[in-house]
């Protein structure tokens, strides 16, 4: 158990729809990152939030957006869903850190999104 | 850009040692991580090593780092059937994202 919980666990959406995925970070962790893991691949970094501000972004289009709340929970929003967005979406939280430094990242169980 | 490479598959017999290898390209890496993923599950952090270390041991796990060759390995002693999973090497470069390899599927035969 990492203390990082994600909801829902599974989701089926139609192409063109919008989806919101949720993550509850481990207590005391103020940094949250989101990753996309396509079938048979390693996770790919989407973006990171630190103290409610976006703190870095991977190679994903603007229709992928996020929020972090004062209690450090987080949302990933994806607009105009495409078939290729079908993947496991993973949230990872990290403990209090200096901006830009490494530390452990603890992952949730993920949300499996299927776009049909 | 950064790249992390792993072999795709490893098969061992129960009780043997497993060695999973990883190479990375970014010389500014500060931490290197090993994660385990079981079917249908998220990622479990197994261990990590700071880039100024050569070796780290944690119970059955031994991590070796050759910074000159940018090579990382994970040795699992006395491999058990419960160790069957996909193992990911990840590179943390002091920036914000972890860069993952494609994973090595470890199959443990009884």
pLDDT of B24-64, one tens digit each?
988 777 789 999 999 888 899 999 898 889 999 999 999 99
Of residues B45, B93, B100, nearest to A104 (C-beta): B45
Distance in Å, alpha carbon of A89 to nearest chain B alpha carbon: 9
**What residue of B is the nearest CA neighbor of A38?**
B102
Q: What is the pLDDT of residue A74?
A: 96
pLDDT at A49 over 70: yes
| Minimal C-alpha gap between A47 and chain B (Å) | 8
Interchain CB distance below 8 Å, B43 and A90: yes
- Distance from C-alpha of A67 to C-alpha of B62, rounded to nearest angstrom: 38
Tell me the per-residue pLDDT of A70-90, one tens digit each, with 9 for 90 and over: 888 999 999 999 999 999 999
Strand partners, B89: B34
Distance CA(A35)–CA(B88), nearest Å, equals: 14
Confirm or reject contact between A48 and chain B (CB < 8 A): yes
CB atoms within 10 A of CB B64: 17
């Amino acid at each position: 158990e990492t203390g990082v919980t994600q909801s829902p666990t599974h989701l089926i959406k139609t192409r063109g729809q919008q989806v919101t995925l949720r993550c509850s970070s481990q207590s005391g962790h103020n940094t949250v990152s989101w990753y996309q893991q396509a079938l048979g691949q390693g996770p790919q970094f989407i973006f990171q939030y630190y103290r409610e501000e976006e703190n870095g972004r991977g190679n994903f289009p603007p229709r992928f957006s996020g929020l972090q709340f004062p209690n450090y929970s987080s949302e990933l929003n994806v607009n105009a869903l495409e078939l290729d967005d079908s993947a496991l979406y993973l949230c990872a939280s990290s403990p209090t850190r200096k901006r830009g430094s490494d530390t452990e990242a603890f992952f949730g169980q993920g949300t499996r999104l299927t776009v049909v | 850009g950064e790249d992390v490479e792993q072999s795709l598959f490893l098969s061992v017999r129960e009780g043997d040692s497993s060695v999973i290898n990883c190479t990375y390209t970014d010389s500014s890496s500060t931490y290197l991580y090993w994660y385990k993923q079981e079917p249908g599950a998220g990622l479990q952090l197994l261990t990590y090593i700071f880039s100024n270390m050569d070796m780290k041991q944690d119970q059955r796990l031994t991590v070796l780092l050759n910074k000159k060759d940018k090579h990382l390995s994970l040795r699992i002693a006395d491999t058990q059937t419960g160790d069957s999973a996909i193992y990911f090497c990840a590179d943390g470069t002091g920036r914000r994202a972890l860069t993952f390899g494609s994973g090595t599927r470890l199959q443990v035969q009884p």
